[in-house]
Amino acid sequence: MREIGSEFMMDSFKRGKNEYCYLTDYPKRYVLSGRTGLYLIAQELQVEGIDSVSLPAYCCGSMVAPFIEAGFSVSFYERYEITNSKAILIMDYFGFLKEETALFAGQCREAGLRVIVDATQTAFSRSRSYDSADYIVVSYRKWLDCLCAAVYSQNGFITQEYTKENTVYVDIWRNAAKKKKAYLETGNGDKQEFLDLYGKANHMLGEDYIGFKASDSEIERFENADSQYIREHRRSNATQLIDGLHGKLNLLFKSLSDEDCPLHVPVVLKQEWRTELRKSLIKNSIYCPCHWPVDEKYPHQKTRFHDEEMSLICDQRYTEDDMKNEIEEILKVIS
Taking the domains of the chain in order of start, what are their residue ranges? 28-153, 167-208, 226-334
The answer as to CATH 3.40.640.10 being correct for domain 28-153 is yes
User: What is the CA 54 to chain-centroid distance, rounded?
Assistant: 19
Task: Using pLDDT thresholds of 50, 70 and 90, give the confidence band for residue 82.
Answer: confident
CB-based contacts of 184, cutoff 8 Å, min separation 6 = 2, 3, 9
Mean pLDDT of 118-144: 98
- pLDDT surpassing 60 at residue 1: no
What distance in Å separates the CA atoms of residue 10 and residue 147, rounded to the nearest whole number? 11
- Report whether 130 contacts 1 (CB < 8 A): no
Please state which CATH number belongs to domain 226-334: 3.90.1150.10
For 6-24, what is each residue's pLDDT tens digit?
Answer: 999 999 999 999 999 999 9
Q: What is the dihedral of CA 134, 139, 140, 141, to 10 degrees?
A: 180
Range of lowest pLDDT (67-71, 78-82, 144-148, 325-329): 78-82
- Report whether 98 contacts 116 (CB < 8 A): no
What distance in Å separates the CA atoms of residue 299 and residue 309, rounded to the nearest whole number? 20
Q: Phi-psi bin for 99: left (phi > 0), alpha (psi -120 to 50), beta?
A: alpha
Side chain identity at 140, as an amino acid letter? Y
pTM above 0.95, yes or no: yes
Q: Is the peptide bond before 143 cis (omega within 30 degrees of 0)?
A: no
156 burial (CB, 10 Å; 0-12 / 13-18 / 19+) is exposed
